[in-house]
Copies of this chain bind each other. A is one copy, B any other.
């Protein structure tokens, strides 16, 4: 591929981006798309604009860029939580490190590559891209010290920056924990594997165990119920009813959803059924008798202090490690209720099964990747399949096929992966939504680094040789650095187009939210629903975006010294990403749950991994180029990088794994001194609410008994004095704010 083809590709992408960005700036001004582009704002302030139509609304503008640029860290934190801050730190980190890398590599390494061997240079646009890579440096050249120096500078500054970021994010996490004083999850422990007893219900067993062994700190508990067929049907019916109701109900009525049931709208059969069931005496009898049967061997146990909950969650409770398994409970909004009731003794086998299935999934994915890569090497394929020659005679077609199509195909295939990985993480038994996303994020990261990065290098090499002997040569571990060293400078071309298409274009699409637009359209015109506040909102898709940004980081690091031409494109990507994601976090996505910065250790490990891969590849290149000095200087670098990683694991990681006792004890004191503890205890027992929609009667008013601790009615816990006193403001939160956690969709 020539530089001109690359520039064509860049041109196309710049044009596409400019068009989409302009389109976005117009669309976001239209009131009917307010819930697509301002979901976050809607959730926060319930705002509603009735702007009159004016010409200005059709003129593209760049105001959003300015506003995104000016947004401070505090604004991001309040809109997207610590996870959003961490994600933006990742982008800022990438910008910093690749600015430095670009400076060094473009001004020191690139000229050395270009004049690396004696040859007649053509005009620069007609120059092959390989001329700009390390492949152009002669064997045994003394100029390789520059590459080695660049590698040293990049590694050392990356490590320094990583340390600095890790330390800052650890501090942020600590202050996130200390600031969330009213977080009920700090007082709560999830207990699974409650032993079955023929004489007692699970709930009685739990009460007995904790009043015996944790007498001083045990507050109360709440059983997890099976989300069985009845509940599911009720849930679905409630959803359907609500949807149909709002389409037929008055617009005025829809806005004040709370009182809508009383205005006597059209009475659907769903409504009749629900009212009948609600008013009937038989219903509650049925429910109480049913609860005993639907109780799972799992419960949420509330403690009087944070420290007591921490202690209970860390200890091995019983001599049988499969019984009384304790875990930190997730936030109320973060709980993934369906998985809480899974029998604990089967979880380990689920995890293993999912691991195997994930690996098979990754293996299956090599097929489209090979197909994609074969397009880049079209000129080689032409020799094998002569009929292609006619099609590719036109220069533009050829450039399109080699520069643009491969990435587009790959991107389309890659769209299947996130939902599948999310499904896997669900089946694995994640107890929280954020944990599920985290797990999917890690799977996707491995998936993308393997399928996009390595597989492209390997398949590229295989097709290039068309002998299939590569697999055999690769089987010797010693050959891998050499094979990578040969492949990277040539595959760098593909990575550049990938940055242009998948990178830039994905940002543009992220901004435009085509899927949300289509959904909105269907919802509004297909279902004839005019109430826009009831339309669903999204949470930030960390599980797709973190791996994507990390993947570009991997590409950046590995190509930086070998083929530095990629760096300007990457820098543009990261700058755009900074603006786009900041805008999206501020305006589009709601934050119902967060991990509290748990993504950073994963990001850190991925960065270290890419550094080491870079160094291994560099050592391979230095070996091939017969520069023993550079080669011997690279090995200490690898060892130092690994030692640095180990140090960070010791120094920072435990804070992300567990809460420090000191911090929680001090928070407990603070609450006790300010007298807030009582209030927290009172609130605590109504915060976790398993069946929300079933608890809503047709008028949309919350029935306290439904949403409350199912135990209360059955057991009469002595410590549980607040039964039935569901605070109004709490039910208000999720009814008034168009209940984003219910209708939230995972993209």
| A residues apposed to B, CB below 8 Å | 170, 174, 213, 310-312, 314-322, 324, 348-349, 352, 472, 475-477, 643, 646-647, 650-655, 657-663, 665
Q: How far is the CA of A654 from the CA of B321 in the complex (A)?
A: 6
Q: How far is the CA of A312 from the CA of B315 in the complex (A)?
A: 10
Choose one: B213, B314, B352, B665; the contact of A213 (CB below 8 Å).
Answer: B665
Q: Is the CB of B317 within 8 A of A314?
A: no
**Besides the known contacts A315-B660, A316-B659, A317-B661, 8 further A-B residue pairs in the complex with CB atoms under 8 A apart:** A311-B315, A317-B660, A317-B662, A318-B662, A319-B660, A324-B662, A348-B647, A475-B475
**Max count, chain B CB within 10 A of own CB: residue among A315, A472, A646:** A315
**CA–CA, A311 and B646, complex, Å:** 27
Instruction: Considering the complex, give the chain B residue whose CB is closest to the CB of A317.
Output: B661
Q: List 7 A-B contacts (CB under 8 A).
A: A213-B661, A312-B661, A321-B650, A321-B654, A324-B662, A352-B646, A476-B476
CB distance from A306 to the nearest CB of B (A): 12
**Chain B residues, Cβ within 8 Å of A319:** 170, 174, 655, 660, 662-663
A174–B174 CA distance with the chains assembled, in angstroms: 37
CA A659 to CA B650, docked complex, whole Å: 24
Within the assembled complex, what's the spacing in Å between the Cα atoms of A554 and B324? 37
A213 to chain B, nearest CB (A): 5
B-chain residues with CB within 8 Å of residue A654 when the two chains form the complex: 316, 321
Query: Nearest B residue to A651 by beta-carbon distance?
Result: B322
**Structural contact, B316 and A658, CB atoms closer than 8 A:** yes
CA distance A476 to B477 in the complex (A): 9
Q: How far is the CA of A324 from the CA of B320 in the complex (A)?
A: 30
- Beta-carbon contact of B321 and A661 below 8 Å: no
* Residues on the B chain within 8 Å of A659, using CB: 316
* A643 neighbours in B (Cβ, 8 Å): 349, 352
Q: Bound complex: CA of A348 vs CA of B317, how far in Å?
A: 30
Q: Which of A170, A319, A472, A657 has the most CB of B within 10 A?
A: A319
Contact partners of A651 in chain B: CB under 8 A: 320-322
Cα–Cα distance between A348 and B651 once the two chains are bound (Å): 11
* A196-B658 Cα distance, complex, nearest whole Å: 24
Tell me whether B646 and A348 are in contact (CB under 8 A). Answer: yes
The answer to whether A661 touches B475 (Cβ under 8 A) is no
**With contact pairs A646-B352, A647-B348 given, residues A660 and B318 touching in the complex (Cβ less than 8 Å):** yes
Which of chain B's residues have a CB closer than 8 A to the CB of A310?
A: 315
Closest to A475 in B: B476
Complex formed: what's the CA distance from A280 to B348 in Å?
66
Within the assembled complex, what's the spacing in Å between the Cα atoms of A662 and B396?
A: 75
Contacts of A646 in B (CB 8 A): 348-349, 352
Query: Closest CB of chain B to A55's CB: distance in Å?
Result: 56
Would you give the shortest CB distance from A471 to chain B, in whole angstroms?
Answer: 10
Q: A443 CB to closest chain B CB, in angstroms?
A: 20
Q: Are B314 and A315 in contact (CB under 8 A)?
A: yes
Q: How far is the CB of A707 from chain B (nearest CB, A)?
A: 32
